[in-house]
Amino acid sequence: MARRRQPKRVAVVGTTGVGKTIFARQLASLLDARHVELDALFHGPNWTPAPLDEFRGRVSAAITTEAFVVDGNYGAARDIVWPRLDLVVWLDYPFPLIFARLFRRTVARREELWNGNRESFRLSFASRDSILLWAITSHRRRRRELPAIAERFGVPLVRLRSPRESAAWLGSLEITA
């Protein structure tokens, strides 16, 4: 029986709070690939965004390896990442599930994220930069735009619509020696 060729360079995309980073870590482990979290490359101390040229340089350097799994939706780096991809995995879960998960995570999370940053009550609930507000405003747009973006870059797109479907897809990957 012929072995299925495993992707070596993958982007994991989806709405804020869908679980991109956890999924990408699992996928990177299965593929023996480098995990690249775009949020960590973008956010400096005190949530300061990296200057665009610096961010793009970090992204370019991070994907020089033969195998990588990138998670994040940064349009500012898409022209760097997507031409190198074998596959895009789109975690497209129902919005009520995403929002409930994001709300619970935001209330409970206290650990440091990147570069000394932590989510705070004020930032999460009482700010124009609220991650919850961002999820609300970006979910429908992502659903509308992602298929066209993948088509424009000529990258195969796997659309996973539930955590169960995502787990089954990860479980279906054959690990080759």
49, β-bridge pairs: 43
* 12 membership: H or E segment, kind and range: strand 9-14
Does the pTM surpass 0.75? The reply is yes
Beta-bridge mates of residue 91: 14, 160
Contacts of residue 99, Cβ cutoff 8 Å, sequence gap at least 6: 17, 132, 135, 136
> What pLDDT was estimated at residue 41?
96
Higher-confidence residue: 164 or 120?
A: 164
| CA–CA separation, 160 and 168 (whole Å) | 10
- Nearest Cα residue to 106 out of 117, 116, 95, 119: 119
**pLDDT tens digit sequence for 86-129:** 999 999 999 999 999 888 877 776 666 667 766 665 565 656 76
Q: What domains appear along the chain, each with residue ranges and CATH number?
A: 9-96+138-171 (3.40.50.300)
The sheet with strand 34-37 has its strands ordered as 34-37, 68-71, 9-14, 87-91, 157-160
Does residue 106 contact residue 124 with C-beta atoms inside 8 Å?
A: yes
Both structure tokens of 143: 């659903």
- pLDDT, tens digit, for every residue of 17-29? 899 999 999 999 9
Round to whole Å and give the CA distance between 48 and 129: 12
| Type of residue found at 50 | A
Question: What's the pLDDT tens digit per position in 42-87?
Answer: 998 887 889 999 999 999 999 999 999 999 999 999 999 999 999 9
